[in-house]
Amino acid sequence: MKLSELPAQIAPVTADIDKVTAAQFLNLFAAVFLPMFMAAVDQTLLATATPAIAASLGGLTDTSWVAVAYLLSSAAVVPLYGRLGDLHGRRNMLVVAVGIFTLGSLACGIAQSLPQLIAARVVQGLGGAGLMTLSQALVGELIAPLERVRFQGYFAAVFTAASVAGPVLGGVVVSHFSWRWLFFVNLPLAAFATWRLCQLPRGEPHLDQTGTHDLLGIALFAVCTVSGLYWLTSAGHHFYWLSTFSALLVALSLITLGLLVWRESRHASPFLPVDLLREKAIVFSLITTSLFASCMFAMVFFIPIYLQLGHRVSAMHSGLLLLPLTAGMVIGAMVTGRFVARTGRAKWVPVFGMALSSLALLLLGALSPQTLSVGVLGFIAGLGFGTVMPINQVVVQTVAGRARLGAVTAMISLFRSIGGAAGAAVFGALVYGLMPSLDITSLAHVATAVPMPSVTHAFHTAFLVAAFVAAMAAFAASRVPAVLLWQPRTSTSITENV
């Protein structure tokens, strides 16, 4: 079907037709903006709500699973959405993903206990996994690559708006209404997004590209990660480290990990393409991504908790103090993108970035507790965090080549989610293990300028550990071979010896 045969607002564009107009792109963008925004804003929107959730449902020490459950469930099904989009059409599968995300949001809003909320977050994550993946794929299906470059600013605006608006909106809603509205607000947004999506072309299925679904691989991944993270976060306060149950969890995680690697190395279309790990540039980029994500998600999730419990500030104030961190990430990503676009060389940028983040986290843990230092050092740490993903994603895609582009992109997203889940879980276990028992109900309703030394000490110790993890990420980034992101005409190799 040609451009002239479709409504001007939604016509797909291919490489051999005229340029897409701004009006045509904006009509497509209006349909995919909300799904992308809802996926991007989720973690920062909820960051300020944890103390209020704990005051309402109890279980402060397990609240990190509000983030972990979403990250793990979304990571597990991202590859499935890509294949189902090929099979049934990307627009149709995006509508399904929005529906699942909406159902999970409703379940989160009406949850009456923390286990119910965590289970609802699993459902929400199953839908959220498709929001970003399929939105970007749908744009790629309807807009030619050369044309998409012209409109990159719109996509940058989505992530900037999510990073800036999430902490502020979350703090305002929690301070003046109820944390449940952070989930209920998704319902009308999802309804509008579905209406707009249904006005787009259905798209054509690509039955010859679906491959074989690796459901067993996904199941092994889920069992391995959940059992391992539950052991890391629960041993010591839900059960003894040297108990029989602890040993069974470790054994289950290790056995399923071994089975996962064995199966994926033999599967025709694996959920986790382990053969890509033979490339040094890919494996160290994935390690860097995982370590970076563990620090970043831990900071996004726990800085508002630190401010509310340790410095006794309001949810809205803690959301405002999270803004420097998220703003730093946006600025770091933008500066990195421009630098690499000019030079084509990326090796030392994430090394410098994670070293800068490590220094900021070290100072955050070592200096006396002040809300001003949280804002300043959070911005510096964010600058460093922003250097990693723009480069690592392009590096692994360049090394893997066009034939493995989809597989390696899914893999780096998977490692980012695993690292984020592990960081939130382990950081939470460390903090809550060092804190004394707290009356979270009374703390959630008190806002004074007097820090609580016992709470701030626990968080400062955890910040020092996070600084060490960030330093490990810088070291891993230094082990990535230098990669030219585009080739000089006389060169035949994409890598250089360091």
What pLDDT, on a 0 to 100 scale, did the predictor assign at position 494? 38
Cα 13 to Cα 226: distance, rounded to the nearest angstrom: 43
CB neighbour list of residue 453: distance below 8 Å, 6 or more residues apart: none
Q: Which of 461, 322, 443 is nearest to 60 (CA)?
A: 443
What pLDDT, on a 0 to 100 scale, did the predictor assign at position 105? 92
The CATH number of 1-202 is 1.20.1250.20
Q: Is the pLDDT score of 75 beyond 80? A: no
Q: Packing angle between helix 22-47 and helix 90-109, nearest 10 degrees?
A: 30
Q: Is the pLDDT score of 312 beyond 70? A: yes
Q: What is the mean pLDDT of residues 305-333?
A: 82
CA angle 376-288-261, nearest 5°?
145
Q: Is the pTM above the cut of 0.85?
A: no
pLDDT in tens, 251-285: 998 999 889 888 888 877 777 777 777 888 888 98
pLDDT in tens, 217-239: 878 887 888 888 778 777 766 77
Q: Packing angle between helix 453-478 and helix 348-366, nearest 10 degrees?
A: 160
Q: Is the pLDDT score of 470 beyond 90? A: yes
Q: Is the pLDDT score of 309 beyond 60? A: yes
Q: Which two tokens stand for residue 359?
A: 């220094």
Q: Which of 90, 167, 160, 185 is nearest to 131 (CA)?
A: 90
408 — pLDDT class (breaks 50, 70, 90):
confident
Distances (CA, A) of 410 to 162, 293, 428: 22, 15, 27
Cα 396 to Cα 477: distance, rounded to the nearest angstrom: 12
Question: Does residue 480 sit in helix, strand or coil?
Answer: coil
What pLDDT, on a 0 to 100 scale, did the predictor assign at position 443? 52
* Average pLDDT of the residues of the chain: 77
- CATH top class, domain 275-498: mainly alpha
Q: Is the pLDDT score of 157 beyond 90? A: no
Cα 94 to Cα 178: distance, rounded to the nearest angstrom: 29
